[in-house]
Structure 1
């Protein structure tokens, strides 16, 4: 009997990738905190998770029959955040305290997802060994 990882791991296998993408978006905001005119961006976690779990992909067109077919997985789109602080005059909308808190919260949830997946794999290993 074959093991279905989709059934065994559920949605949690996709949360790790979406959390990593979210960390990239937040860290970019933090890095651009002093850049005039930079607009803070955010990732819609639920939409990104739905896209990742549905296996939505964008097919790349081939102009020649000898080209290798390829597709890329959609990781969700980033959107501009609504500013939470008044404009300081340079047009930058990054709230550094908010970004740090979001980054910390995302990292805690990312680690929880990794721990959860680790326990799932440990249980699968026990099941395979018959323990």
Structure 2
């Protein structure tokens, strides 16, 4: 029973971290909308979540090894730089900037709503655990 609760919290925690990272990417795209040559970045959230939770490798979490003592240990989850994608320009621009503000704003709003939903799932799980611990 405890494993199911921890697994659920771990899953939602990973999803929250990835949503946060995606929000950072989208905000960076919006901030660089007028930067010549800037190419918008995004992530495939579903595959990044599978990779972060270990679902892509048969249940084992994917980790990176450090080959030298001076290397920084790789973080699992959002900071492991999920496979970032480049956005193709919806219109040709003279400055070769691929940021489409309508697309970025819509993705930003969608991701914000999903971030909030993930927070609500975590709050609900914690509240359920506290109620179970307290008893009736």
TM-score range, shorter chain: 0.7 to 0.9
Shift of 1:39: 0.8
Does 2:112 match 1:107? yes
Instruction: Write the deviation string for residues 79-105 of structure 1: whole angstroms up to 9, x where unpaired.
Output: 101222x21211001001110111011
Write out aligned runs for 1:37-52 (5 A). 37-52=37-52
Number of aligned pairs? Answer: 125
Higher strand share: 1
The CA distance in 1 between the partners of 2:53 and 2:44, in whole Å, is 14
Which one has a bigger Cα radius of gyration? 1
- Unaligned regions of 5+ residues in structure 1, if any? none
Does 2:89 match 1:83? yes
Does 2:97 match 1:98? no
- Unaligned regions of 5+ residues in structure 2, if any? 55-60
Shift of 1:58: 1.2
Shift of 1:124: 0.5
TM-score normalised by length of structure 2: 0.82
C-alpha change, 1:122 and 1:62, in structure 2 (3 Å) is same
Match of 1:30 in 2: 30
TM-score normalised by length of structure 1: 0.85
The CA distance in 1 between the partners of 2:74 and 2:103, in whole Å, is 35
Match of 2:2 in 1: 3
Cα-Cα RMSD: 2.1
